[in-house]
Structure 1
Amino acid sequence: MSDAQDIRTDIDNRYYHLLMGLQTGQEAAGIEVEGKVKAEHSEQHNSRRKLLDVERIAMRDKELNQRSKLHYLENISTIVHEEVCDRMQKKIDNIDDLSQNVLGMDDGLAAVYDALAIKAASIAKIEPTIAAIPWLTKELMDLSNSPKYRKTDRLGKVVRFETLRMTLSFFGIENLKLLIPMLTVQRWIPKVTDPYPAFKQKLWEQVIATGISCRKIAEFGKVDPFHAYLAGMYHELGKIAITKMFFKYFDNVQQEAMMEAHKEQKREEHLALQDVKIDPDVWLAMMWNQSYQIAANAVQHMNMKRVPIFQGMQELADKTPLVERSPLGRVLEQGRCYARFRVLRSYKLLNIEDAKKYLISCRMPKGAVAALKDVDMRQIALSFGED
């Protein structure tokens, strides 16, 4: 493995673990957590050194018993997680079912993006495609009437947007290109990921940063900024789908197994099943190995006619060498890398030396890093008065 591959794999590993939580990310980055006492310096460790022989014998027997219970629990956990993965794989292999029932993709979304993508795009042509998606209509209208975008007339009276046409005209074509992908991803991201509540926040930070980065980097080449932005916003659809399935199926399998053990009066197995917890390593492995292919499949399933981003996303899934990728595929990879750089730096999980190596390995376009330096990666910047 080359030095460039080494640093990229290392950074990817830090990012994946950050999704589990900051402390997990710090451990993956080799950073000692402040206030965490090392075992060899702990009070418990010192007391163990002073145990009498008879206590050591009792401790040994207790540890042997605990090891036996732990081994049994690990076996039960393995069986549960294997069943979870089997059920997930069946769903993953059915992209129609996954897109509709796991991600919750709307059939009319492709028509919205195709209408936005044409050079002669107009509010009149876009309106019926958005009106066909009730939740999107409501989100846009609520947003236009929110305090953030509230407008007043010459008499100081609040202007309220009562129709979809008014709302769309207020935002304009270019802002809608930014807003709609953002609103769709926000809708799809799982709301509950306990006992890893940080996941949804950390994933969103990466998604929005990638979309913003891709859109900016596209300016340095012959890539449509809207195409680049949409690819960046949608590149983590696989992680969203996997997480939704993993948590749902884990709960289902655990409950079914407990009911069966209770019915068959298998007390030890029932007690062990109660102690089985989600294994983050299995979850991470599923995301690491399959998330980008799922995202590419989901985008292909959308069947957009005027937004050709599937090839670039498939290149990401295939890990095609950067120099062999299509123009959009290169922008997607560069935007993804830059976003990870910014996210990891914001949590102090990337030092300057590693950051330099990482950005060099991403082959960023000349001038792109400087242009991105002062760009806010946490929220999209809408522009008014230009349409």
Structure 2
Amino acid sequence: MENILKTRFNDLFLDVRVAQKNILDEGKPQVNVVDAEQNKTSRQLLSVEKQALLEKDLNNKAELNLQLSVNSQLDAEVERRLLEDIQDIDHLYNKVLGIDEVMPTLLDAIGVRAATISKIEPLAGEMSWFYNDLMRLVNQPKYKRVDSKGKVILVDSLRAGLSFFGLDNLIQIVTSLSFRRWLPQITDPYPKIKVRIWEEALATALCCKQIATISKVDPNHAFCIGMLQLCGKIVITRKYFRIFEEVQREALIETETYGKHEEHKALRTTRPNGEFLNILIEKHAFNISTKLIVKMDMKRVFISQPMQELQQNLPDSELSPMALVLKQGSAYAKYRILKQHKLIDLPQAKEFVRSMKLPKGALELLKTTDIRTLQLTTSNN
């Protein structure tokens, strides 16, 4: 069941229509791509004379074999370069994601018991983008406040923005606003990838926060780890599309230079391989997330050790409470997202939720949790 649902979640990451179609195909025998296309051609050309049909099938099979060969070579070179690039954690941290140097310090400062807005404000001000993003958040219509004359009160200073939701919400705000800036932008022909990563990150963070309240661990730290554990998924996605474009461009130039017309034609029709991207994410994303979080070196937000425990694939009995919260929150978030997109039926849902071994009372709490929006209350509420 776990593998079936993982496959569906990976399909959804690329395209909800693909995920829905593949559910219908589950359990059916798999047909080789080349043979499938050849059989399709044969059915379509039954009225054509035998020799022409044979030649057509052979040509189609040769073209498909060449296309598959070109795709395979591209994938291999993309993976080789990607594996080289992800060894440099400093580069991933500073350039690929562009994590602000002050962000971990800011999160630590918020986590101190004696934290005050006046101590936090100078650190927040060092992140050049933060003021504008925070103003957009606090001035959303759903948070609007009015004065005695009914006029909307516009928040326009960093201090007022930081104070608006209160200190209890600031770890969530800093984490989520930062994370959104790291999301990949260009992922054609899979334009929904950005949405899917955010959907998973927010759902996981919110589920972890809720489970944390029952598991007696810090809910804000749980939110933080739930979201940041997907950093590696962003890294692999961004690197994959950049490297694919680079490798394809170089191969097109090479085949044109040496007159390899058939290979050149095949390369022109090659598109990024979503299934291969999912394989790369499965192999490398969580390890990268762990290394990035360790590099953040936060002293007050205790999330690096739980990440390392899960990276080592320790049994549940050896996991710390925070690591277990992340494991359970991540699984429940996936279940809710699959349910939201009608990609899981009731018996499968029951079996999957049972396998999570949620603490007593967590399921009732999670059932009523909105996983699609930040749960923030203003300091005046």
Report the TM-score when normalising by structure 1: 0.90
Counting only pairs closer than 5 Å after superposition, residues 161-172 of structure 1 correspond to structure 2 as: 161-172=155-166
Structure 2 residue aligned with 1:215: 209
* Counterpart AA for 1:284: N
Alignment partner of 1:57 out of 47, 51, 61: 51
Mean Cα deviation higher: 9-18 or 241-250: 9-18
Q: SS in structure 2 opposite 1:19? A: helix
Mean Cα deviation higher: 298-307 or 7-16: 7-16
Q: Which whole-Å deviations, capped at 9, do the CAs of 1:158-197 have from their partners, x for residues lacking one?
A: 3222321121122211222222211112111112211111
User: Is the CA contact 1:83–1:253 (under 8 Å) kept in the aligned structure 2?
Assistant: yes
Counting only pairs closer than 5 Å after superposition, residues 311-350 of structure 1 correspond to structure 2 as: 311-350=305-344
Please give the alpha-carbon distance, in whole angstroms, between the structure 2 residues aligned to 1:328 and 1:84: 35
Does residue 234 of the first structure (1) align with residue 228 of the second (2)? yes
Mean Cα deviation higher: 326-335 or 313-322: 313-322
Q: SS in structure 1 opposite 2:379? A: coil
Q: SS in structure 2 opposite 1:190? A: coil
Alignment partner of 2:253 out of 226, 241, 259: 259
Structure 1 residue aligned with 2:290: 296
Please give the alpha-carbon distance, in whole angstroms, between the structure 1 residues aligned to 2:332 and 2:228: 16
1:297 Cα shift?
Answer: 0.9
Does residue 109 of the first structure (1) align with residue 78 of the second (2)? no
Aligned length: 369
Please give the alpha-carbon distance, in whole angstroms, between the structure 2 residues aligned to 1:148 and 1:8: 38
Structure 2 residue aligned with 1:151: 145
Alignment partner of 2:359 out of 356, 359, 365: 365
User: Is the CA contact 1:19–1:198 (under 8 Å) kept in the aligned structure 2?
Assistant: yes
Query: Which runs of 5 or more residues in structure 1 are unaligned?
Result: 1-6, 33-43
Shift in alpha-carbon separation, 1:246–1:355, aligned structure 2, 3 A: same
Aligned Cα RMSD in Å? 2.1
Please give the alpha-carbon distance, in whole angstroms, between the structure 1 residues aligned to 2:86 and 2:23: 31
Does residue 79 of the first structure (1) align with residue 79 of the second (2)? no
Shift in alpha-carbon separation, 1:212–1:50, aligned structure 2, 3 A: closer
Shift in alpha-carbon separation, 1:25–1:50, aligned structure 2, 3 A: closer
User: Is the CA contact 2:15–2:190 (under 8 Å) kept in the aligned structure 1?
Assistant: yes
1:267 Cα shift?
Answer: 2.3
Structure 2 residue aligned with 1:279: 273
1:31 Cα shift?
Answer: 6.2
Q: SS in structure 1 opposite 2:14? A: coil
Mean Cα deviation higher: 286-295 or 152-161: 152-161
* Counterpart AA for 1:187: R
1:365 Cα shift?
Answer: 0.4
Query: Which runs of 5 or more residues in structure 2 are unaligned?
Result: 27-38
Structure 1 residue aligned with 2:36: none
Alignment partner of 2:85 out of 83, 87, 91: 91
1:145 Cα shift?
Answer: 3.0
Does residue 160 of the first structure (1) align with residue 154 of the second (2)? yes
Please give the alpha-carbon distance, in whole angstroms, between the structure 1 residues aligned to 2:228 and 2:92: 15
Does residue 248 of the first structure (1) align with residue 242 of the second (2)? yes
Mean Cα deviation higher: 337-346 or 265-274: 265-274
User: Is the CA contact 1:13–1:28 (under 8 Å) kept in the aligned structure 2?
Assistant: no
Please give the alpha-carbon distance, in whole angstroms, between the structure 2 residues aligned to 1:305 and 1:50: 69
Please give the alpha-carbon distance, in whole angstroms, between the structure 2 residues aligned to 1:253 and 1:185: 28
Q: SS in structure 2 opposite 1:357? A: helix
Structure 2 residue aligned with 1:180: 174
User: Is the CA contact 2:42–2:57 (under 8 Å) kept in the aligned structure 1?
Assistant: no
* Counterpart AA for 2:162: L
User: Is the CA contact 2:165–2:379 (under 8 Å) kept in the aligned structure 1?
Assistant: no
Please give the alpha-carbon distance, in whole angstroms, between the structure 2 residues aligned to 1:326 and 1:30: 40
Alignment partner of 2:370 out of 372, 376, 384: 376
Structure 1 residue aligned with 2:43: 48
Please give the alpha-carbon distance, in whole angstroms, between the structure 2 residues aligned to 1:50 and 1:178: 61
Please give the alpha-carbon distance, in whole angstroms, between the structure 1 residues aligned to 2:275 and 2:95: 25
Q: SS in structure 1 opposite 2:107? A: helix
1:223 Cα shift?
Answer: 0.9
Shift in alpha-carbon separation, 1:283–1:45, aligned structure 2, 3 A: closer
Please give the alpha-carbon distance, in whole angstroms, between the structure 1 residues aligned to 2:151 and 2:330: 44
Q: Which whole-Å deviations, capped at 9, do the CAs of 1:203-251 have from their partners, x for residues lacking one?
A: 2211111100000000111211111110101121111111101111101
Please give the alpha-carbon distance, in whole angstroms, between the structure 2 residues aligned to 1:230 and 1:164: 22
1:357 Cα shift?
Answer: 1.3
Counting only pairs closer than 5 Å after superposition, residues 18-29 of structure 1 correspond to structure 2 as: 18-29=12-23
1:130 Cα shift?
Answer: 0.7
Q: SS in structure 1 opposite 2:378? A: coil
Please give the alpha-carbon distance, in whole angstroms, between the structure 1 residues aligned to 2:121 and 2:147: 25
1:49 Cα shift?
Answer: 8.3
Please give the alpha-carbon distance, in whole angstroms, between the structure 2 residues aligned to 1:179 and 1:129: 14
